[in-house]
Amino acid sequence: MKVVIIGGGAGGLSTASNIRKYDEDAEITVITRDEHIAYSPCAIPYVLSGDVGCFDDIIMHQPEDYLERDIMVITRAEVLEVSSENNKIRYQSLDSLENDGSEDAEKPVKELYYDYLVIATGGAPFIPPMEGADLEGVFKIRTIKDGAKIKEWAEKSHKAIVVGAGLIGLEIAYGLKNLGLEVTVTEMMPQIVPRSLDPSMATLVQKYMEKKGINFILGQAIDKISGKERVEGAVFGDEEREADMVILATGVRPETKLAKMAGAELGRWAIVVNEKMQTSVPNIYAVGDCVEVYDAITGHNTQSPLGSTAVRQAKIAAKNMVGIDAAFRPVLNSMVSKIGALEFGAVGLTKTAALQNGLKVISGQKRALTKARYYPGAKRIDVKMTTTLDGKIIGCQIIAEERVAERVDTMSLVIAQGITCNELVNMEFSYAPPVSMVIDPIILAAEDACEKLKRLNGD
**Segment contacting a second copy by CB under 8 A, of 1-9, 82-90, 246-254, 320-328:** 320-328
Euclidean distance between CA atoms 345 and 60, whole angstroms: 25
Does the protein bind a second copy through residue 440 (CB under 8 A)? yes
Q: Draw the binding track, 9-48, toward a second copy (x: CB under 8 A; -: no contact).
A: -x-----------------------------x-xx--x--
Query: Pairing mode, if any, of strands 215-218 and 182-187?
Result: parallel
**Segment contacting a second copy by CB under 8 A, of 87-95, 105-113, 121-129, 330-338:** 330-338
Does the protein bind a second copy through residue 376 (CB under 8 A)? yes
Q: Determine which residue in the list 435, 455, 456, 457 makes contact with a second copy, applying CB under 8 A.
A: 435
Residues 6+ apart with CB under 8 A from 113: 2, 86, 87, 88
Q: Which is nearer to a second copy, 281 or 378 (CB)?
A: 378
Q: Determine which residue in the list 307, 367, 401, 452 makes contact with a second copy, applying CB under 8 A.
A: 307
- Integer angstrom CA distances of residue 147 from 33, 105, 152, 329: 17, 34, 9, 33
Task: Compute how many residues bind a second copy; rule: CB under 8 A.
Answer: 66
Using only C-alpha atoms, the chain has a radius of gyration, in whole angstroms, of 24
Q: Which is nearer to a second copy, 137 or 348 (CB)?
A: 348
In order, the DSSP letters of 300-340 are SEE----HHHHHHHHHHHHHHHTT----PPPB---EEEEET
DSSP letter (8 states) at residue 106: G
Does the protein bind a second copy through residue 353 (CB under 8 A)? no
Query: Pairing mode, if any, of strands 215-218 and 224-227?
Result: unpaired
**Segment contacting a second copy by CB under 8 A, of 89-97, 276-284, 361-369, 430-438:** 430-438
Does the protein bind a second copy through residue 323 (CB under 8 A)? no
Closest alpha carbon to 86 in 109, 108, 114: 114
42 in active site:
yes
Does the protein bind a second copy through residue 408 (CB under 8 A)? yes
Q: Determine which residue in the list 361, 385, 404, 453 makes contact with a second copy, applying CB under 8 A.
A: 404
Does the protein bind a second copy through residue 392 (CB under 8 A)? no
Closest alpha carbon to 358 in 389, 333, 330: 389
Q: Which is nearer to a second copy, 56 or 136 (CB)?
A: 56
Euclidean distance between CA atoms 7 and 291, whole angstroms: 13
| Residue type (1 letter), 281 | V
Closest alpha carbon to 407 in 374, 377, 435: 435
Q: Determine which residue in the list 335, 354, 361, 421 makes contact with a second copy, applying CB under 8 A.
A: 335
**Segment contacting a second copy by CB under 8 A, of 137-145, 211-219, 238-246, 368-376:** 368-376
Does the protein bind a second copy through residue 291 (CB under 8 A)? no
Q: How far is the CB of 399 from a second copy (least distance, A)?
A: 13
Euclidean distance between CA atoms 274 and 328, whole angstroms: 8
Among 42, 290, 396, 421, the active-site one is: 42
Does the protein bind a second copy through residue 287 (CB under 8 A)? no
Q: Determine which residue in the list 109, 235, 326, 359 makes contact with a second copy, applying CB under 8 A.
A: 326
Query: Pairing mode, if any, of strands 109-113 and 252-254?
Result: unpaired
Q: Which is nearer to a second copy, 4 or 336 (CB)?
A: 336
**Segment contacting a second copy by CB under 8 A, of 226-234, 282-290, 360-368, 438-446:** 438-446
**Segment contacting a second copy by CB under 8 A, of 111-119, 124-132, 229-237, 302-310:** 302-310
Q: Which is nearer to a second copy, 85 or 428 (CB)?
A: 428
Does the protein bind a second copy through residue 148 (CB under 8 A)? no
Q: Determine which residue in the list 126, 236, 294, 375 makes contact with a second copy, applying CB under 8 A.
A: 375
Does the protein bind a second copy through residue 294 (CB under 8 A)? no
Does the protein bind a second copy through residue 274 (CB under 8 A)? no
Site residues for a second copy per CB under 8 A: 10, 40, 42-43, 46, 51-53, 57-58, 60, 306-309, 311-312, 315-316, 326-329, 331-332, 334-338, 343, 345, 347, 372-376, 403-410, 412-414, 416-417, 425-436, 438-440
Which residues are the active-site residues? 42
